Structure 1
């Protein structure tokens, strides 16, 4: 199998989630650092439009969204598992809450005036403005919380996490699972990237101790790689056949009346409005796969989770 290539940047919370999982599963990976804001021509050469961070590349297969990346890594390296039995449904549900509700609450607190000033200290004023405009363009259907309201909710969520840690080292037991990695990354941003507002964590010492246990996992064995090298690797590789790659399920599940082979677009439903267009070659109970071609990267298969993404026929 081709190497694991993670396209990410250091400050990205969802990238930290995936980096830790790579470390937990003791996987070697190549690191392509991508821009935090648009334009992202090398990213979109591979994804066809999708511009959220991170995404993972294996040869000419592109896996979008950290939730799908986690499933791919679990298939590649089943032990230690992210989805322990019994209770994997609970772990996935808690992870989804963390990636959505907890994340946006934490980030509204983190990037309030004080936190934002710390993040962009020493940078020219236009850098902060460019970041704000970029993220504003990405937000669709996500209400913006005021920092005061976010702080109140964040404190409540931290207390709930603390309660889960009363008699066990991780949220759902003796070992970390997908819920831990998803709950950790927005708190990591608070502590590491906006420490001027991290005093909110001090009220829940059990959470801080859990964060130390999570941070100790590390991020595995990383090798630096360039975007040009990643695109060249995609161009030199054939995508894996549907049902024979890292997403083994190929059973067609039709919820839209759109046949395989149709020209379609896939778009995130709430954050990142850029569509990816291609030929629909898989629509299973968990994921979609599009086949597309790029003049630099060649033929590609681009994979998305079903949850959180909108499938439509492409306009003629």
Structure 2
């Protein structure tokens, strides 16, 4: 198998989710640091437009969105599992809630003035302004929740998680699952990147103990890699053969059609390519670029839109 290459940056909460899963599954990986804001020339050479963090690369296969990356890592290393038997559906629902509801609330809380001062302590004012503008563009102009409202909601969410942890070490039992990794990463940012605001955990000791257990998992074995080298890996490799079911038609769009895929609510940059698979859980586009060569770019169905390119 080709190396697992993670395109990420240290402060990315969603990247922390995947770094920790790689450690949990004891999968060695290559670490490619990408910029926090656009432009991201090496990353978008591989994805064709998608710019959210992280992205997992395996040879000439590019996997977007952490929900899909979790599935890919589970297939590569089924044990220890992310999906605990009879509670798999519930764990996935909690994970989706954490990514789509808990995360934005936590980050609205984290980016109040005391948090911003810690995250950007060594960043010049123009760098902070560029970050704010970049994230506003990713939200498509949608307003961010106020830090006051976010604090109240965050506390409610923490109490719910604490309730799930009563009498057990992790959210669904004795071992961590996909729900734990998804719920942990926005709280990690509060604790590790904006510690001045971590007093919000004081009323939920179950959360503090659980976070210590999650932190102890670590990131496993990894080594640095340059972005241009990762692009060259894609160029010299070929995408893996598509396995099993490749087409479940929900749009009336035939395989082989030119299409555009984009996230449905945040980070709306589109990726255009040839639709070569549309399974029950993912889309795959074939793209060819001067730098990347021919690659397959994979997206989950949930959270993304598929449209045919108009002639």
Q: TM-score when scaled to structure 1? A: 0.97
CA distance in 1 between counterparts of 2:142 and 2:74 reads 30
Shift of 1:250: 2.4
How far does the alpha carbon of each residue in 1:44-98 deviate from its partner, in whole angstroms, 9 at most, with x for none? 0000000000000000000000000000000000000000111100000000000
Contiguous gaps of at least 5 residues in structure 1:
244-248
Among 260, 275, 300, the residue aligned to 1:305: 300
* Other-structure match for 1:93: 93
- Residues 230-249 of structure 1 mapped to structure 2, 5 A cutoff: 230-243=230-243, 249=244
Query: Is 1:200 the counterpart of 2:200 in the alignment?
Result: yes
Q: Does structure 2 retain, via aligned residues, the 8 Å contact 1:141–1:270?
A: no
SS across alignment from 2:49: coil
CA distance in 1 between counterparts of 2:299 and 2:75 reads 16
Q: Does structure 2 retain, via aligned residues, the 8 Å contact 1:161–1:171?
A: yes
How far does the alpha carbon of each residue in 1:129-160 deviate from its partner, in whole angstroms, 9 at most, with x for none? 00000000000385521100000000011111
* Other-structure match for 2:278: 283
- Residues 244-283 of structure 1 mapped to structure 2, 5 A cutoff: 249-283=244-278
- Residues 70-219 of structure 1 mapped to structure 2, 5 A cutoff: 70-140=70-140, 143-219=143-219
| Number of aligned residue pairs | 311
* Other-structure match for 2:48: 48
Q: Does structure 2 retain, via aligned residues, the 8 Å contact 1:6–1:57?
A: yes
Shift of 1:261: 0.2
Contiguous gaps of at least 5 residues in structure 2:
none
CA distance in 1 between counterparts of 2:142 and 2:55 reads 22
CA distance in 1 between counterparts of 2:284 and 2:192 reads 35
SS across alignment from 1:87: helix
Shift of 1:201: 1.1
Q: Does structure 2 retain, via aligned residues, the 8 Å contact 1:142–1:271?
A: no
Which ranges of 4 or more aligned residues in structure 1 deviate by more than 3 Å?
140-143
SS across alignment from 1:153: helix
CA RMSD of superposed structures (Å):
1.0
CA distance in 2 between counterparts of 1:97 and 1:10 reads 23
How far does the alpha carbon of each residue in 1:244-292 deviate from its partner, in whole angstroms, 9 at most, with x for none? xxxxx42411111100000000000111111000000000110000000
* Other-structure match for 2:13: 13
Q: Does structure 2 retain, via aligned residues, the 8 Å contact 1:292–1:299?
A: yes
SS across alignment from 2:222: strand
* Other-structure match for 1:26: 26
